[in-house]
A and B are shown apart, each in its own frame.
Chain A
């Protein structure tokens, strides 16, 4: 046990600290009497879950989907639409979100995966934009103005999602469960097959794999997890709009994965955390360090940071931490001699 702790490395420590900070966040928010922290934390945890699901197909399977936010939207509307009609039962909302996302993934994935490369990216985007415009056109559910969810999903007496702390912990535990699930999948026979197809699809076919079917199942698993995350997000924001499934949202999710380190287990969590923190704090930081009013242009600096990470930090934050670890070991070895 002690041995495994000392073998955790820099990356392991950072991940442990991020998870510990998240676990203690509600206590911190209560202590400072500032619910803002809890809000950011809940959003972070839910988006991290969506990013982990995207990473399963993008990082491990090499399927670059620019339509993953579509599943978030579908999950959210699976809460919003029944709620609009007076159905508040969480045991209907969540299974509905999961089933709807799985079905959407199955149908669109079956078509998207007929294509490769740029075409795959474009067609996944096209499908999520179809969902986007589909919801924009439905006046009944607010069109592009969106839909307010008056009451969060009800689970009888045993879970009260109206309590923000409960919602946070449900989301946090879900994130941990999803990470464990993805960890098992990635290391299973199935995970090896989609990783092989990412590296060399032609060879995988020639040794006997129908790669299409494996990729489709991977796509459905990822979409389903993301739909579940969407249902949590709908509960959290209490307001849903087609904008949630816009392709730029999907782009942000890809960025979280790349920023954190695609193909690594916890990378998307680190990426989502870094992304949200930059989004929240870049603007005041610019105001403080440059000049008052510079914060308005935070998107510009944000873009520069994104470019720098892609150019220079191979493997994203995870890769950066691993290089730090190598550096530390080399210095340690040097001082031992």
Chain B
């Protein structure tokens, strides 16, 4: 069995009286794509926020590569190799595409308290940035202002920014959100090409995508994990069918 890259145990988080995440247990193996599915409001995005460090859990423990990162701030986790993409595109709209990616490279290139040398023409930064853009087929638009990209291209840029940080673990929050079929197919291709190379936690609504990509699936309902297993097991799990998939034909 592959070694574990991320181990989440008994994670809890509530807002006021509302329990968003309730004793979640989850592990991600090195190199796998691990999908988290569940109905709206199941706590998927809350879970990713806890893993990325944007919100601190009430209790529980998150271990990344054997180290406790439960209460580390977001930037410290990023430096250890956890990168996330956002459900709602989160980029710097006023900057050219390449500069968004450049910032990711910069973040991993030691401290940036360098005040003199021009950064935009620095080959040490540009090359990895261009490489990340090529991985998501966005290199042709490198010098366009990010604002003017299509929705699908924004999503590709999201992935490129996460990739440019050369992370061990990618947290992908609905990378296909709002995409058309064609764009969605391209994104599946991009993610497939990364399979085995990067470990990924994937939140996705589109079941076709999930079953096409995921090695394992965890089902989250009302903030609690009700099942984890290979796609086939999940498909045939009675609890899952009852709680989540309902009458939906899969």
Contacts and interface: CB of A to CB of B under 8 A. Distances in A.
B191 interface: no
A185 B95 CA distance: 17
Contact of B120 (A187, A211, A214): A187
Interface string A202-230: 11111111110010010000000000000
Interface string A118-154: 0000000000000000000000000000000000000
Contacts of A205: 73-75, 78
A265 to B, nearest CB: 14
Contacts of A217: 113
Residue among A184, A188, A203, A210 with the most chain B CB within 10 A? A203
B117 A188 contact: yes
Contact of A190 (B78, B86, B113): B113
Given A184-B116, A189-B117, A207-B103, A199 B75 contact: no
Contacts of A191: 115, 119
Given A205-B73, A206-B84, A208-B75, A189 B93 contact: no
A200 interface: yes
A123 B79 CA distance: 32
Contacts, number: 97
Contact of A188 (B74, B92, B93, B114): B114
A207 B78 contact: yes
Given A203-B92, A207-B83, A207-B161, A192 B75 contact: no
Contacts of A193: 103, 106, 112
Interface string B76-115: 0011000110100011111100010011101110001111
Nearest to B109: A189
Contacts of B103: 192-193, 196, 204, 207, 209
Contacts of A112: none
A296 B95 CA distance: 45
Given A192-B102, A207-B83, A185 B74 contact: no
A195 interface: yes
Interface residues of B, number: 36
- Provide the main secondary structure of the chain A interface: helix
Interface in B38-53: 52
Interface string A156-191: 000000000000000000000000000011011111
Contact of A196 (B54, B95, B118): B95
Contacts of A214: 112-113
Contacts of B106: 189, 192-193
Contacts of A202: 54, 90
B6 interface: no
Given A206-B74, A207-B161, A196 B92 contact: yes
A189 B104 CA distance: 12
B201 interface: no
A209 B76 CA distance: 8
Contacts of B108: 208
A206 B113 contact: no
A211 B74 CA distance: 11
Nearest to B125: A189
A209 B75 contact: yes
A185 B117 CA distance: 8
B120 to A, nearest CB: 6
5 contacts: A188-B118, A192-B112, A200-B90, A206-B90, A209-B112
Given A196-B92, A202-B54, A207-B165, 15 more contacts: A185-B116, A188-B114, A188-B117, A188-B118, A190-B112, A192-B99, A199-B95, A200-B93, A203-B90, A205-B74, A206-B54, A206-B84, A209-B107, A210-B73, A214-B112
Interface of B: 52, 54, 73-75, 78-79, 83-84, 86, 90-95, 99, 102-104, 106-108, 112-120, 122, 161-162, 165
Interface of A: 184-185, 187-193, 195-196, 199-200, 202-211, 214, 217
